[in-house]
Amino acid sequence: MLDIGFHQGASLHSHTPQDELRMVAVASPQDEAYSLETLWHVCLHLQRLGYPVVVLDGTARESEASPGLQDLLAHEPWSVGAGLGGRVDTSTLAVVPAALGLQALARNPRQLAQPLQLLQPLFRRYAMVVLHAPVTTLASPLMAGTVTAPLLIMMPGKAGVVSSYRQLKHLALHAGLGGMVACVASSSESGQRQLADDSLRSLRECASQHLGQQIRTSSIQAGSPQDLQRLALQLLENACTISAPGAASALPSHFTAGIPAHIVQSH
């Protein structure tokens, strides 16, 4: 036999269809408390819908004490043999420090049409990757070749409108990307919901007039399971897919055989 690979059947892996990895992006605001709580709840709803999620946290830097995406991309020896097994635990949320790793992908030394393709072999056991990172990171070449609209999570009121408009403008000017916005009302009081609706209307008008964009918006109540599930479904609908960077990604190796358990934090 003239098969080239680790064993006779290894070359057949390059001809088998590879599952595409879904990806969504969530911008991190300066005031992250409300944003993070909403993000965790939405991710848990996605997992309940049958989509195991891994969050790449672009606000957390990898370190020796807290390894993450940078180490996975570098194929460090410590990753050998430390995997999660054949199934992903959907009872917890996997969060991977990723600030430096995402910066490395944005530099794209391999000049891939989609730099994020390198994530597919690393996280193919998950159904969805959530990139949680500052707008400056999402507006870099990192998102080249993708069509997803990053989610912005805002609070009702003038300050929330101004902050979200600045983020939308940054995405539009530097990456040619649109955005979708969820406004989180802190309570079910009619005044709070009305303020959220008014804030979103102002934001839509600004985006239409100054950016030429028709943005998708959603008003949700903090802690409402129905609203959070609706937002999760909207994210799922907005997700793009990441395919493997090439046939070589189908071959088994020490760094794609499993995701190192000690870089994953549970939430």
> pLDDT of 149-159, one tens digit each?
999 999 999 99
pLDDT above 90 covers a percentage of the chain that reads 61
Single pTM value for the model: 0.80
Bridge partners for 21 per DSSP: 242
In this predicted structure, the answer to whether residue 179 has a pLDDT above a threshold of 80 is: yes
pLDDT digit string (tens) for 20-44?
799 999 999 766 667 888 999 999 9
166 versus 242: which is more confidently predicted?
166
pLDDT digit string (tens) for 46-88?
999 999 999 999 999 999 999 999 999 987 544 433 334 445 5
